[in-house]
Structure 1
Amino acid sequence: MTLVAEDTATASAASTAERPPRRRRLRTLGGWAIVAILVILGAFVAIQVGVSMPSSRGSLDPQGVGDSGAMALAELLRDQGVEVTVARSRDDARAALDENTTLVMSNPYTLTDEGLERLIEPADRVVFLSTSSHLLSVLGIGTSANGPSTPVSADCTVPEFAKVGDIRPDRMFAPADGVEGCFGDADAAAVLVDDDDGIRRTVVEAGRLFSNAYLAEDGNAALGLALLGQSEKVVWYVPSFEDSDIQGESPDTLGSLTPGWVTPAILLLFLAGAAAAWWRGQRFGPLVAETLPVTVRASETMQGRARLTAKAADSAHAAEALRDGSRRRLARRLGLAVTATPDEIADAASDRLRIPRGTLQTLLAGPPPADDPSLILFARQLDELETSVDDSTRSPRTPE
């Protein structure tokens, strides 16, 4: 029974000793697996973001809820009884145009000049919420200009702008001949209005004025209603790459400009890095305490420390080490405690050797030597003191 109990205890102890390292190893493997999965997911997300096309809910999108979207203005128009139709293709936009309708769009960067002319041809009112220099040239409505960044008022004859108030424009234009400039002066205006044969074309840089983040500032909302709320219906055309005039081609992206092997190579590099990190980071078992293969002699240690002290030219530190050793040996030979003070050792040695106490006190507790010659003399004096104490201890006392 005793042998069985001992075997059982030994087996349980061995199993208990083996379980913690195994559990630690499993936890380590699980941690590295999680890190590898996170790295792969991060690489996949970065690649997808890099090769993806621009979002269809971009700047001044009437269905965009972000800071740069224009959903707030669209809802404000609906509250005023204006029907707002969002068109993401030119065919839908042309089909939605009828009488008493305003066509609204940002810079149609995906359309050619001919495509733009066909789109705006049936519209009586067109409002461009952003423009490029090329679009200004195509419309013949003006050019870019420098103007003040301070708030400006309408200061023009357009009646719907009379109650707008001040706005802080983000971009100014120089109106062409026959084009009226509002919210500025004759040289630089924030809004250009071109009335030609009953067709009104208006240009304004509304990226900051009509966005959700800034619509409530100054007279921005009033200007938006004055521009887009003059008709019963608004057709808001949103340019997109799907409605581009470049047939059979897609815009260049990071994925289309790089060879097909780049994405797999990046994933393989991430996997190789994770495998290398796991390989180099794992532990090869518990730490093992081993005895030193060589025993270092005390004399060699002493000589090594002496060489370091000599190389550092630290005579004060060397003198203190010599003095400490002498005090310990003198205390033992004089029958004093190990914790005896220098004064106690000096008193005992003075009584034993019949020499003045002040000399020994200076030697055992005085200032250390400042140079090597003084250190040599100091060491010789300590040695003579120890020899004298030894001789006095060994010599028999003469009877009185």
Structure 2
Amino acid sequence: MSAPTAGAPTRPTTRPTTRPTTPSTTRSGRRSRLRLAVVAALALALAVGVWTTRGGEQYPGAADPRNPGAEGAQALARVLEDQGVEVTVARSADAFDEARVDASTTVVVSGTEQLAASTLARMRRHASDAARIVLVEPDYALLQEIDPALGLLSVAAEGDDAVAARCPDGVAGVALDGLTVEVDRARSYHLDEADESCFPLGDGALMLTVDDLVLLGAGAALTNDQVTRADNAAVALRLLGHEPRVVWYVPDAADAVGDDAVTIGTLLPDWVGPGLWVLALSGVALVLWRFRRLGPLSTEPLPVVVRAVETASSRGRMYRRSGDRAHAARALRGAARADIAGRLRLDRGTPAPVVAEAAARQLGVPVEMVATLLDDERTSPATDQDLVRYAQDLARLRREVHRP
């Protein structure tokens, strides 16, 4: 190599520097990798849990077409699809309005306890062209919206006894005669003017047609755990699979309008309102009957005017004639005590010792002197002269107290 020429700048030579690895850096790297591994494991466990629970009881309602549980109807829905029936599930009133419903459609409504009066009317309007509308176990409130004369007779447990169809003409164009239904519980409906009925139970039937509705009281026949009993599967497939399309409507309580809310008025019988009005009117009539109208005050002249001095003289003569000096002395003493108490600004019912003490303080005399005259325990006068002297002493005491 040739040596660098004089005056030429020399380029500094840089060498790569390596940072020394310390134990703390190694530990922090291990912690970061450990955190990432824990987060990845949790995410994987969550994903596996979500994947394994897909198709589980996401819709736990009774007779729900996507519920694989014992009370669900997923098995029936899948069999219908395997048989070529198109099954559309609508879980709100808006979704049901968007579903196509025509003469080749069977509408089945499960979870009817969530069906309010407004959503019932809305559903019937949209499904007016359907081949049939099947309501699964409607309750009493819903029956009253359909027809007030419609009755829910019983909720019966039939045990191992199957109920025969006994309807040669079928129901809503579906032939069911010769089939039986066996369920753990059933609702029996009754209506004198029902169009058709099947599976009679007691005084009603497990299946009833009213106008455009088919009321199915044996809703358990559609469920996964009871669809294989007796002829439940055949009944369900004939009723729901008779047409090429099924719209399975699961109502949502949030679709109800404000007027559907349950209030005290809706829970009371219809006769309560008129009864309260009759009771109120009866109360008003009673008040008008017994009410006394008070007119202006009127003055009446007294038949006899008796002077106070005459009354006092008459009472004195009666006391003297009866010889009851004790009563006369007690009356004089009470009048004197009340007068002195009023003069000294005491209550008229003040006890005698208190009045005597106040009067003695006012007069500047010993308390015993006044208490002797005002004490209720004083010995009654023995003669008329003693009564007169006692009356004079009380009169003198009253004058002294009244003296300014």
TM bucket normalised to smaller: 0.3 to 0.5
Computing the radius of gyration from Cα coordinates, the structure with the larger value is 2
Q: Which has the higher contact order (CA 8 A, sep 6+)?
A: 1
| TM-score, with length taken from structure 2 | 0.43
Please identify which structure carries the higher helix content. Answer: 1
| TM-score, with length taken from structure 1 | 0.44
